[in-house]
């Protein structure tokens, strides 16, 4: 997305990218980034860092990953917030999120996956088949988790396309047996990471890694809390962007940059200044994760003089809540602490998943949301199924709620705009 002065093409070539297709992708991303983000008014100064990261997301950050590889560090790609970054950092590895938020090579993808697969999975395949994702190509190991049926079965196919693919099983229920399964999967993953890196995880390396990730989570949680203010000190779009960068950036540098912008937002709150006027309609978004560059629905909402005040999503509070205790005296005790924290993630793949509804209600209250938009990708059975009951429960509690179902195309823009506009009018009546 950059108007890069450095020529990264030799590096992209070395990674085996299709340079022509990659240029095309960067062109589209660059345009939508400037249309959606750079046109916002009164952005916090601290957003300059995240604009820079995005401008170099396929450039400087990839160079950093390649430098790390040359230093013998391993790059681990993931598709889910259930993969503990703590374990990767504890073997001095670098973890990167691989979920993609744009359609690519759709025609080719639909030759190997059913059409009625969610956009997030199709996009993963499109970026691989089209050879346009330098993160994926830089990975020494790619971890796929058995969460929803779509991912689970798609990974059987991805396994043939990606070298060093590692499948991780997942429980479906948060029972004692589910906990045992998750712990045993985390122990297997730990052993695999040790084997791959040639490093042994020690109590010291694991404690240090836990602290790094706890600090990163604490920073994004701090940002989330500041969004309770009216006027909102930062837009939902910029907050989402920070939450998306969470998955790509160097964790320590990211944490510092988020804390820096939080300092600025605190000053804004003290001065009663914000990005939108006081009393602007406040919306909470809840549902499927939004990976870069999936900004479609947030930009529609904020284009209608409403502000998004929180994301109940894995690219948001669902993914970042809770910290891992560093209290243990052995690696095994710390592994228990990791399992305890991760088992709190209220993803819709779990049954029952009543915790999620409670969390949505809590967030609505904490961030003073006037209404909630339940966002699901087409064909995402877990989130679509849950959305009916959640809508009913929220409406019964007096919280206006809108259920939407969409994908990564722009074809339903008009319809979404009409429905979201009507919803905002309903809230304001
Ligand atoms: S912990 S939300 S990151 S699984 S949209 S692929 S659910 S059909 S992404 Fe997720 Fe981990 Fe859960 Fe979070 Fe399937 Fe739905 Fe597609 Fe989805």
Residues 30 and 45: their CA atoms lie apart, in Å, by: 20
Probe target for ligand 1 pocket from 77, 78, 81, with the most ligand atoms within 8 Å of CB: 81
CA of 272 to the centre of ligand 1 (A): 38
Residues 298 and 303: their CA atoms lie apart, in Å, by: 8
pLDDT 10s digits, 104-159: 999 999 999 999 999 999 999 999 999 999 999 999 999 999 999 999 999 999 99
Domain ranges for the chain: 9-170, 207-323+347-428
CA of 388 to the centre of ligand 1 (A): 17
Q: What is the pLDDT of residue 99?
A: 87
CA of 290 to the centre of ligand 1 (A): 10
User: Which residue's CA is minimally distant from atom 3 of ligand 1?
Assistant: 80
pLDDT 10s digits, 155-177: 999 999 999 999 999 999 999 99
User: Which residue's CA is minimally distant from atom 2 of ligand 1?
Assistant: 347
Atom of ligand 1 nearest to the CA of 120: 16
User: Which residue's CA is minimally distant from atom 13 of ligand 1?
Assistant: 314
Tokens representing 272? 């009663």
CA of 271 to the centre of ligand 1 (A): 39
Q: Which residues contact 350 (CB under 8 A, 6 or more apart)?
A: 171, 172, 173, 174
CA of 1 to the centre of ligand 1 (A): 26
Residues 71 and 383: their CA atoms lie apart, in Å, by: 41
CA of 319 to the centre of ligand 1 (A): 11
Average pLDDT over residues 204-230: 98
Tokens representing 226? 């500041």
pLDDT 10s digits, 291-350: 999 999 999 999 998 999 999 999 999 999 999 999 999 999 999 999 999 999 999 999
Probe target for ligand 1 pocket from 114, 147, 387, with the most ligand atoms within 8 Å of CB: 147
pLDDT 10s digits, 250-287: 999 999 999 999 999 999 999 999 999 999 999 999 99
Q: C-alpha distances in angstroms, 189 versus 144, 145, 166, 377?
A: 11, 11, 9, 29
Atom of ligand 1 nearest to the CA of 288: 5
CA of 121 to the centre of ligand 1 (A): 9
CA of 254 to the centre of ligand 1 (A): 24
CATH architecture of the domain with residue range 207-323+347-428: 3-Layer(aba) Sandwich (3.40)
User: Which residue's CA is minimally distant from atom 4 of ligand 1?
Assistant: 147
Confidence of residue 2 (pLDDT cuts 50, 70, 90): very low
Q: What is the pLDDT of residue 126?
A: 97
Q: Which pTM does this prediction carry?
A: 0.97
Task: List beta partners, residue 202.
Answer: none
Do residues 356 and 348 lie in contact, with contact meaning Cβ atoms separated by under 8 Å?
A: yes
| Mean pLDDT estimate for the chain | 97
pLDDT 10s digits, 182-200: 999 999 999 999 999 999 9
Q: Is the pLDDT of residue 373 over 50?
A: yes
Given this chain, do its domains 9-170 and 207-323+347-428 carry the same CATH topology? yes
Ligand 1 residue neighbourhood (C-beta within 6 Å): 80-82, 118, 120-121, 147-148, 150-151, 288-289, 314, 345, 347, 349, 377, 380, 382-383
Atom of ligand 1 nearest to the CA of 148: 14
User: Which residue's CA is minimally distant from atom 15 of ligand 1?
Assistant: 380
Q: What is the pLDDT of residue 3?
A: 46
Q: Which residues contact 236 (CB under 8 A, 6 or more apart)?
A: 283, 285, 298, 301, 302, 307, 308, 309, 311
CA of 394 to the centre of ligand 1 (A): 22
User: Which residue's CA is minimally distant from atom 8 of ligand 1?
Assistant: 380
pLDDT 10s digits, 33-60: 999 999 999 999 999 999 999 999 999 9
Probe target for ligand 1 pocket from 78, 288, 342, 406, with the most ligand atoms within 8 Å of CB: 288
Tokens representing 316? 């948001």
Q: How far, rounded to the nearest angstrom, does the alpha carbon of residue 290 sit from its chain's CA centroid?
A: 6
CATH class of 9-170: alpha beta
Do the strands 94-97 and 401-406 form a parallel or antiparallel pair, or are they unpaired?
unpaired
CA of 147 to the centre of ligand 1 (A): 7
CA of 287 to the centre of ligand 1 (A): 9
């Amino acid at each position: 997305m950059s108007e890069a002065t450095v020529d990264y093409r030799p590096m992209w070539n070395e990674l085996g990218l299709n340079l022509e297709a990659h240029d095309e992708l960067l062109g589209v991303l660059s345009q939508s980034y400037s249309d959606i983000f750079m046109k916002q008014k009164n952005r916090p100064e601290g957003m300059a860092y995240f604009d820079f990261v995005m401008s170099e997301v396929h450039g400087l950050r990839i160079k950093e990953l390649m430098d790390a590889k040359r230093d013998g560090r391993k790059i681990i790609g993931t598709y889910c917030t259930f993969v503990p970054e703590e374990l990767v950092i504890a073997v001095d590895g670098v973890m990167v999120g691989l979920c993609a938020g744009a359609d690519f090579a759709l025609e080719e993808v639909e030759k190997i996956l059913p059409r009625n697969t969610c956009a997030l999975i199709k996009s993963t395949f499109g970026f691989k088949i089209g050879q346009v994702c330098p993160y994926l190509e830089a990975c020494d190991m790619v971890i796929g988790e058995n969460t929803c049926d779509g991912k689970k079965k798609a990974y059987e196919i991805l396994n043939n396309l990606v070298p060093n693919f590692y499948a991780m099983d997942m429980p479906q229920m948060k029972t004692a047996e589910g906990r045992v399964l998750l712990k045993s999967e985390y122990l297997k993953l730990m052993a695999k990471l040790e084997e791959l890196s040639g490093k042994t995880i020690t109590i010291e390396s694991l404690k240090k890694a836990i602290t790094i990730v706890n600090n990163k989570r604490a920073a994004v949680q701090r940002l989330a809390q500041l969004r309770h203010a009216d006027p909102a000190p930062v837009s939902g779009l910029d907050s989402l962007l920070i939450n998306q960068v969470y998955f790509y950036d160097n964790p320590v540098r990211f944490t510092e940059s988020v804390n820096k912008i939080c300092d600025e937002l605190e000053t804004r709150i003290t001065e009663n200044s914000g990005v939108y006027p006081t009393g602007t309609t406040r919306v909470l978004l809840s549902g499927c994760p939004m990976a870069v560059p999936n900004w479609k629905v947030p930009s529609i909402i904020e284009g209608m003089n409403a502000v998004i005040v929180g994301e109940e999503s894995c690219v948001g509070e669902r993914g970042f809540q809770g910290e891992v205790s560093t209290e243990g005296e052995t690696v095994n005790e710390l592994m228990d602490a990791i399992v305890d924290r991760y088992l709190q993630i209220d993803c819709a793949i779990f049954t029952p998943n009543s915790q999620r509804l409670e969390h949505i209600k809590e967030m609505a209250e904490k961030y003073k949301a006037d209404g909630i938009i339940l966002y699901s990708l087409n064909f995402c059975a877990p989130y679509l199924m849950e959305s009916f009951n959640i809508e009913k429960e929220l409406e019964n509690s007096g919280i206006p709620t809108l259920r939407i179902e969409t994908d990564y195309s722009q074809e339903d823009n008009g319809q979404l705009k009409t429905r979201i506009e009507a919803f905002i009018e309903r809230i304001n009546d």
